Amino acid sequence: MPYTPMQLANSFIKTGEFTDALDALNAQLVQVPHDDEALRLRAQVLARMDNPSQALIDITAVLAPTSDDQFIKSVLYERMSDMPNAIASLNVNEPRHAERLVYLLGIQENWHRVLEVIKAQPPSWRWQQYEADTLVKMGRDSEALVCYEGVLQALAVVTSQSSQKGVFTAMTARILMAQAFIFLRLAQYDEVEARLQRASQYIPDDPAIGFNMGIIWVHRGDLAKAIAYAKEALLNASLDVKAHLLQSLHDDPRLSALRDALE
Residue 166 confidence class, pLDDT cut points 50, 70, 90: confident
**How many CA atoms are closer than 13 Å to the CA of 175, on its beta-carbon side?**
26
Beta strands in the chain (DSSP E): none
Answer for the pair 131, 150: CB distance below 8 angstroms, yes or no. Answer: no
Residue 159 confidence class, pLDDT cut points 50, 70, 90: confident
Answer for the pair 230, 258: CB distance below 8 angstroms, yes or no. Answer: yes
Please report the pLDDT score of residue 213 as a whole number.
96
Give the rounded distance of the alpha carbon of 225 from its chain centre. 35
Report, as an integer, the average pLDDT of 30-55.
96
pLDDT of 52 > 70? The answer is yes
Answer for the pair 218, 226: CB distance below 8 angstroms, yes or no. Answer: yes
What would the pLDDT profile of 59-98 be if each residue is shown by its tens digit? Answer: 999 999 999 999 999 999 999 999 999 999 999 999 999 9
What would the pLDDT profile of 115-146 be if each residue is shown by its tens digit? Answer: 999 999 999 999 999 999 999 999 999 999 99
- The span from the CA of 203 to the CA of 220, in Å, is 25
Cα-only R_g, the chain = 25
pLDDT of 1 > 70? The answer is no
- The span from the CA of 263 to the CA of 261, in Å, is 6
Q: Which amino acid is at 139?
A: G
What's the mean pLDDT when you consider all of the chain?
95
pLDDT of 43 > 80? The answer is yes
Could you tell me the pTM of the whole model? 0.86
Core vs surface per residue 113-139: b (16+ CB within 10 A) or e: bbbebbeebeeebbbbbbbbbbbbeee
Report, as an integer, the average pLDDT of 180-193.
96
- The span from the CA of 59 to the CA of 62, in Å, is 6
Answer for the pair 40, 62: CB distance below 8 angstroms, yes or no. Answer: yes
Residue 163 confidence class, pLDDT cut points 50, 70, 90: confident
Answer for the pair 213, 192: CB distance below 8 angstroms, yes or no. Answer: no
First to last CA, the chain: 71
pLDDT of 162 > 90? The answer is no
Please report the pLDDT score of residue 69 as a whole number.
97
Phi and psi at residue 15, to the nearest 5°: -100, 5
Domains and CATH numbers, the chain: 1-64 (1.25.40.10)
What would the pLDDT profile of 190-241 be if each residue is shown by its tens digit? Answer: 999 999 999 999 999 999 999 999 999 999 999 999 999 999 999 989 999 9
pLDDT of 2 > 80? The answer is no
pLDDT of 99 > 70? The answer is yes
Residue 102 confidence class, pLDDT cut points 50, 70, 90: very high
